[in-house]
Amino acid sequence: MWRLAILFGVMASASAQAAECTISTARYKNDSLAWFLTFKPVPQFSPATQTAAFIIELPNSGVTLEGAVHRPNGFGSPLWSISGPCQPSRADSCTFAEGDGTAIYGNYAAKVGWLDDKRGAIAPEQVILPRLAASLWYSAYRNNEFETEAPSSDVFSLTGCDY
């Protein structure tokens, strides 16, 4: 009987942890590469349209890219951008996946939609950054980060939360 009580307690604490994982503390791993995405609080002096901030760690290159989610005036979808060193060993900065803006998506209980980027929002099971892998494929990171010619994923799956 007491084993059943312990099992119930463990299951309850695991679901409570998942429920407490918010967009500002979530940590993800890329589904096909050794990349990690971690959300963090929005910097104090960020643009008014910025709703979320994240980093992507590229361990094979020893580089961390800085990402942002924005909701510019006139756009209904959250748009993402990312920047960092143009090459692993240089200090100059480049923006990756440039263009008119690409929406960021979340997978919530097997339903894909725009990322819920409101402060305190529950973290999705997956984050999708369209064009990320292709953008880095055509950069100086190609040799370090991509092990094969196989297509890479723009999908990051939730691994936990940084509290």
Tens-place pLDDT, residues 103-145: 999 999 999 999 999 888 999 999 999 999 988 888 888 888 8
Q: Given a cut of 80, is residue 20 above it in pLDDT?
A: no
> What pLDDT, in 10s, does the model give residues 60-75?
999 999 999 999 886 7
Residue 49 and residue 61: Cα distance in Å, rounded? 31
> What pLDDT, in 10s, does the model give residues 97-113?
766 678 999 999 999 99
Domain count, the chain: 1
Q: Given a cut of 90, is residue 29 above it in pLDDT?
A: yes
Work out whether strand 50-58 and strand 26-30 pair parallel, antiparallel, or are unpaired.
unpaired
Angle at alpha carbon of residue 130, lines to 80 and 157, rounded to 5°:
90
Q: What domain range includes position 52?
A: 2-161
3-class state of residue 12 by DSSP: helix
Side chain identity, residue 51: T
Confidence at 16, pLDDT banded by 50, 70, 90: very low
The encoded tokens of residue 31 equal 């589904």
List, in sequence order, every residue forming a beta bridge with 155; answer none if it has no partner: 128
